[in-house]
């Protein structure tokens, strides 16, 4: 399902009622529950978040009924009587933050929890502050569920960060019921003061006294207070009205928002009242119509001007203000937004999707700049299940050319249940639809991903051949593959792809390939790679791709191990002639090569340049000619029925530390792996997959080609890596997702910074293949306007850990992710004992996508697993209490300096942050006295050369133990890397052999 919004170019008219304030409702219900007797709260709020507060209070024994539009609350006088062992805050942050501490007023222990995804919401600072107040609680990972003992708090001196007002409000609400005096002091920057003012004002209305300092950073509350019963009426909700105001601001209109009867007010009236002042300053023509009982907006020609806003007072208004700024003349600046990125989603980053519609937004960690544009185009958008993001993007889409679609279409019900009715009342067509979520500009899709696609167990029972057949039937004329060439783009539909696969499968049968046989091919990222892979799978054969720049030695190794009889190669790759190289290899290979057919593909189209050399027993074919002379025997093709358990892929590991090993994977593992990622990241039919990584490597093959196939969306291929061309193709083809290694991320960031052009549609960049410097990841998120997600995976295991857009930013890009559903991670010591959270050790995992075996190497297969069946990754790592993985190095990369193990990854991360360092790797150099010392290989950057002494001062300034400092600095033009971006440290160790420390007395 999706929310469909049709852009309009007409006058809008009508009147809509403004719902009552959910902010007042939360506080009124909670305070009434603490009073001794019956309170009446008039002006019922139907917001789902308020309902979560009602349900949680009922779970604590509070009787709450409804009489027409009134809540009738039977307070318990500050003593809850839980009906069950656990109560849920649902998905309401306000409910969660307010009620964790108040649950201590129960007469027995109770757990406060939330919906599944809400159990990853970090509340550590609030928990520490509650503990300072004397609340007895436990949480395994500083996230819900929080187990709270029924023990009245003692009060005391409490400190809390000013990040979120709800944390502070939760403390203030509890303090009057403590047994001793409470002082609450705010540390650091204070955000959202207006919400605190509302909390204190409403507490005073219920007879609870709070003394507040002038700067609102200190609160003194006397103990043993008693809340009194009240009767009050909830005021109109400015936060909901903002969407009607913004819609009217963007169109010629005559709109009445019934219920708002004044333009004067403050936090006690509503914490977001300041929005009205901002809207008026932007030029929204608002006047109170006393006779009609509401706020009227009338205009014939919308004209907005830019603003400069401090968002600490109106944090929840950032999404809708971004929409207004997009249509304002000049540049609007929204400052102090960091805490808005900790809401239901990263709201600042989410609004960057306006760039995919033609907007001009730039995001830095604490500032969002929005330049006005003349118009927008319809697009496919994600709401991230955030009610304010959904409604703000929907309002923007009402002014776009064409139609737009948004995911999680019912998220608006959380705070503004009548939003859809209000918009349609005004004449803005919005509806929740099933099926296609295409935009007028981008074309439409035949439907959402099939239910099985995001169910790993169900998906894995369907072969890749069956997935292709499904897509060709359900979306025959939609784009399946885009092959980005230097002079043009080849575009292939699903119907065309299926036809090409059948013809190529027939060719393979003609060449004698049979089920279970390995088909080798060395091709760049081209449509033919996709076709050949699916053709091999069509007849039950095994895909054995070879990295394009491998030469005779590596190709010979693969051909000997795979015993492939058919090889497909390009006639040219850069300055090389791969076909000729293969024939030379075959001429010298003797009986250990079984190569019978070499099929040569023309790099530039047309007929291939065939090698002149002929080899006895090996036939050379031109790709196009071979296909044209092959007839399709449907009966023969359909007689072969591959199963999910059949081997689908043979990939050889990169061989950075040892001889490459042939990894076999069945179809069920590959399909399950991409389904797990889809579900983890929320990928859907609105996405377009960009594939810069080599398809011959697992990252490109699985999380590019196979992912797009199962999801039923386009894949954008780029044969030759060029960051500027990549940026152009990203925007031309509206790519939203990419999974690639560190060099691709780094080059793309540079291209954006140099050109000023941004990837307007990119949502998610999953960084894999090698440890991503945290500084680069954080910078990339800002520069690209996308969520950079850390991940861990191997050829043997597929992805095992992955962060997600909804994770806290520093966990999202500052870790290697958390376990996907169905995957188990652990850290052990050298004796196999499992280590506690935070301890470094050997990283092991267990997953349903772990490989079958190393080809012809049962000895290596056995070595790869522990006695209890866990895969040994060969990495050192830690796992924190929240389950986030951090790779700290390779076991074989450890530098043992006289018995002291140097934390290589930590030192590399620090050095990467130096402005004169473009890239860095630290390896061991042999030493007679200490065994090993550390040598840093540095690629200079920033126009300056890092000296050895400057490096030492830099590490000293970061409080790094001297024993960990590299004792030699070597400058190098580029670090040697394998095709997926991993540094070939064995080559660097060879370079370091024989080197001596710069100063043996320095450490």
**What is the set of active-site residues?**
316
- 575 CB-contact burial (10 Å; exposed 0-12 / middle 13-18 / buried 19+): exposed
Helices and strands (DSSP H and E) totals, the chain: 31, 53
Element (H, E) at 955: helix 948-957
Question: Quick check: bond before 81 cis, omega within 30?
Answer: no
- 1003 CB-contact burial (10 Å; exposed 0-12 / middle 13-18 / buried 19+): middle
Give which of 267, 157, 163 is closest to 220, Cα–Cα.
157
> Using CA atoms, how far apart are residues 997 and 253, in angstroms rounded to an integer?
75
Half-sphere exposure of 49 (CA within 13 A, CB side): 24
The DSSP bridge partners found for residue 185 are 159, 218
Query: Encoding tokens for residue 116?
Result: 């599944």
The torsion angles phi and psi of 848, rounded to 5 degrees, stand at -70, -5
Query: Encoding tokens for residue 765?
Result: 């960049």
The crossing angle, in degrees rounded to 10, of helices 48-59 and 22-34 is 10
User: Measured between alpha carbons, how far apart are the two ends of the chain, in Å?
Assistant: 63
> Using CA atoms, how far apart are residues 171 and 887, in angstroms rounded to an integer?
37
Query: Encoding tokens for residue 548?
Result: 């394009």
Query: Encoding tokens for residue 649?
Result: 């892929």
* 269 labeled binding residue: no
Secondary structure (H, E, C), 224-254: CCCCCCCEEECCECHHHHHHHHHHHHCCCEE
> Using CA atoms, how far apart are residues 32 and 987, in angstroms rounded to an integer?
70
Q: Is 835 helix (H, G, I), strand (E, B) or coil?
A: coil
The crossing angle, in degrees rounded to 10, of helices 494-510 and 527-538 is 60
* 27 labeled binding residue: yes
Give which of 442, 487, 480, 532 is closest to 732, Cα–Cα.
442
- By residue count, the chain amounts to 1003
Give which of 243, 554, 258 is closest to 423, Cα–Cα.
243
The torsion angles phi and psi of 770, rounded to 5 degrees, stand at -160, 160
- 56 CB-contact burial (10 Å; exposed 0-12 / middle 13-18 / buried 19+): buried
Query: CB 331: neighbour CB atoms within 10 A?
Result: 15
> Using CA atoms, how far apart are residues 392 and 818, in angstroms rounded to an integer?
31
The DSSP annotation for 161-185 comes to ESS-HHHHHHHHHHGGGSSS-EEEE
* 335 labeled binding residue: no
* 388 labeled binding residue: yes
For tokens 């969660």, the residue is: 96
> Using CA atoms, how far apart are residues 762 and 355, in angstroms rounded to an integer?
10
Give which of 84, 135, 138, 87 is closest to 114, Cα–Cα.
87
Secondary structure (H, E, C), 286-301: EEEECCCCEEEEEECC
Q: What is the dihedral of CA 173, 174, 180, 183, to 10 degrees?
A: -50
Q: What is the dihedral of CA 676, 678, 679, 682, to 10 degrees?
A: 160
* 22 labeled binding residue: yes
Exposure letters 638-663 (e unless 16+ CB within 10 A, then b): eeeebebebbbbbbbbbebeeebbbb
* 121 labeled binding residue: yes
Residues of each annotated binding site: 22, 27, 93, 121, 165-166, 316, 343, 347, 388
**Annotated binding-site members for 3-phosphoshikimate:** 22, 27, 165-166, 316, 343
Give the residue numbers of the binding site for phosphoenolpyruvate: 22, 93, 121, 166, 347, 388
């Amino acid at each position: 399902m999706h929310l469909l919004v049709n852009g309009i170019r007409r006058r809008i008219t009508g009147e809509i009622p403004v719902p009552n304030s959910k902010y007042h409702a939360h506080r009124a219900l909670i305070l009434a529950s603490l009073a001794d007797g019956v309170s009446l709260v008039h002006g019922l709020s139907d917001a789902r978040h308020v309902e979560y507060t009602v349900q949680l209070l009922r779970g604590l024994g509070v009787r709450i009924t409804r009489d027409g539009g009134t809540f009738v609350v039977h307070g318990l006088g500050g003593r809850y009587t839980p009906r069950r062992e656990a109560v849920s805050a649902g998905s309401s942050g306000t409910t969660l933050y307010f009620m964790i501490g108040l649950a201590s007023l129960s007469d027995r222990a109770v757990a406060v929890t939330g919906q599944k995804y809400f159990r990853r919401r970090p509340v550590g600072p609030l928990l520490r502050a509650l503990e300072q107040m004397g609340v007895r609680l436990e949480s395994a990972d500083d996230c819900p569920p929080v187990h709270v003992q029924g023990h009245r708090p003692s009060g005391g001196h409490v400190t809390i960060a000013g990040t979120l007002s709800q944390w502070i409000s939760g403390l203030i609400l509890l303090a009057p019921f403590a047994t001793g005096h409470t002082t609450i002091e705010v540390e650091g920057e204070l955000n959202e003061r207006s919400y605190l003012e509302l909390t204190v004002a409403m507490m005073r209305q219920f007879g609870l006294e709070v003394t507040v300092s002038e700067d609102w950073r200190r609160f003194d509350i006397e103990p043993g207070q008693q809340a009194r019963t009240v009767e009050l009426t909830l005021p109109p909700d400015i936060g909901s009205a903002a969407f009607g105001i913004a819609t009217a601001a963007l169109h010629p209109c005559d709109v009445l928002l019934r219920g708002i009867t004044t333009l004067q007010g403050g936090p006690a009236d509503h914490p977001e009242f300041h929005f009205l002042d901002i809207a008026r300053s932007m030029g929204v023509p608002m006047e109170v119509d006393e006779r009609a009982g509401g706020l009227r907006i009338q205009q014939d020609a919308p004209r907005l001007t830019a603003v400069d806003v401090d968002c600490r007072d109106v944090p929840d208004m950032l999404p809708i203000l971004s929409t207004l700024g997009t249509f304002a003349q000049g540049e609007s600046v929204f400052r102090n937004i960091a805490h808005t990125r900790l809401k239901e989603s990263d709201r600042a980053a989410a609004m960057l999707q306006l760039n995919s519609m033609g907007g001009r937004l730039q995001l830095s960690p604490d500032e969002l700049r929005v330049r006005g544009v003349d118009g927008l185009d319809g697009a496919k958008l994600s709401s991230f299940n955030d009610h304010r993001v959904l409604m703000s993007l929907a309002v923007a889409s009402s002014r776009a050319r064409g139609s737009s679609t948004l995911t999680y279409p019912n998220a608006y019900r959380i705070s503004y249940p009548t939003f859809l009715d209000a918009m349609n009342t005004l004449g803005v067509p919005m509806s929740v639809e099933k099926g296609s979520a295409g935009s007028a500009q981008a074309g439409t899709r035949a439907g959402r991903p099939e239910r099985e696609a995001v169910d790993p167990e169900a998906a894995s029972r369907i072969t890749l051949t069956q997935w292709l057949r499904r897509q060709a039937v359900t979306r025959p004329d939609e784009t399946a593959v885009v092959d980005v060439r230097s002079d043009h783009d080849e575009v292939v539909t699903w119907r065309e792809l299926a036809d090409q696969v059948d013809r190529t499968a027939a060719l393979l049968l003609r060449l004698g390939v049979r089920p279970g046989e390995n088909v080798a091919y060395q091709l760049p990222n081209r449509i033919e790679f996709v076709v050949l892979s699916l053709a091999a799978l069509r007849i039950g054969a095994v895909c054995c791709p070879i990295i394009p720049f491998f030469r005779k030695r590596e190709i010979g190794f693969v051909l000997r191990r795979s015993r492939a009889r058919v090889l497909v190669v390009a006639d040219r790759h850069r300055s090389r002639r791969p076909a000729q190289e293969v024939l030379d290899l075959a001429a010298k290979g003797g009986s250990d090569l079984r190569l019978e057919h070499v099929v040569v593909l023309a790099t530039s189209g047309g007929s291939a340049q065939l090698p002149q050399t002929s080899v006895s027993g090996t036939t050379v074919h031109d790709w196009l000619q071979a296909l044209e002379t092959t007839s399709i025997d449907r009966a023969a093709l359909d007689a072969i029925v591959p199963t999910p358990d059949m081997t689908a892929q043979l990939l050889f590991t990169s061989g950075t530390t040892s001889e490459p090993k042939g990894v076999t994977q069945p179809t069920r593992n590959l399909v399950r792996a991409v389904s797990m990622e889809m579900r983890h990241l929320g990928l859907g039919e609105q996405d377009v997959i960009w594939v810069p990584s080599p398809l011959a490597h697992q990252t490109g093959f699985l999380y590019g080609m196979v992912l797009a196939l199962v999801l039923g969306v386009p894949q954008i291929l780029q044969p030759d890596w060029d960051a500027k061309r990549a940026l152009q193709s990203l925007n031309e083809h509206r790519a939203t997702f990419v999974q690639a290694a560190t060099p691709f991320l780094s080059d793309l960031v540079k291209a954006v910074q140099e050109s000023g052009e941004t990837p307007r549609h990119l949502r998610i960049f999953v960084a894999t293949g090698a440890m991503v410097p945290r500084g680069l990841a954080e910078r990339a998120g800002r520069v690209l306007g996308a969520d950079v997600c850390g991940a861990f995976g191997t050829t043997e295991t597929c992805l095992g850990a992955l962060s997600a857009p909804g994770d806290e930013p520093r966990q999202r890009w500052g870790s290697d992710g958390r376990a996907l559903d169905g995957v188990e991670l652990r850290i052990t010591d050298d004796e196999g004992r499992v280590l506690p959270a935070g301890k470094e050790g050997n990283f092991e995992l267990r997953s349903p996508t772990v490989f079958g075996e190393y080809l012809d190497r049962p000895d290596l297969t056995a070595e790869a697993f522990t006695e209890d069946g866990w895969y040994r990754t060969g990495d050192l790592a830690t796992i924190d209490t929240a389950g986030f993985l951090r790779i700290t190095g390779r076991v074989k990369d450890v530098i043992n300096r006289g018995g002291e193990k140097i934390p290589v990854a930590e030192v590399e991360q620090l050095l990467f942050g130096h402005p004169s360092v473009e890239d860095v790797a630290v390896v061991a150099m042999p030493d007679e006295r200490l065994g090993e010392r550390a040598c840093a290989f540095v690629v200079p950057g920033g126009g300056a050369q890092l000296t050895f002494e400057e490096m030492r001062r830099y590490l000293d300034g970061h409080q790094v133990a001297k024993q960990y400092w590299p004792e030699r600095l070597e400058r190098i033009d580029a670090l040697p890397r394998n095709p997926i971006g991993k540094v070939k440290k064995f080559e660097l160790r060879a370079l370091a052999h024989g080197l001596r420390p710069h100063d043996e007395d320095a450490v």
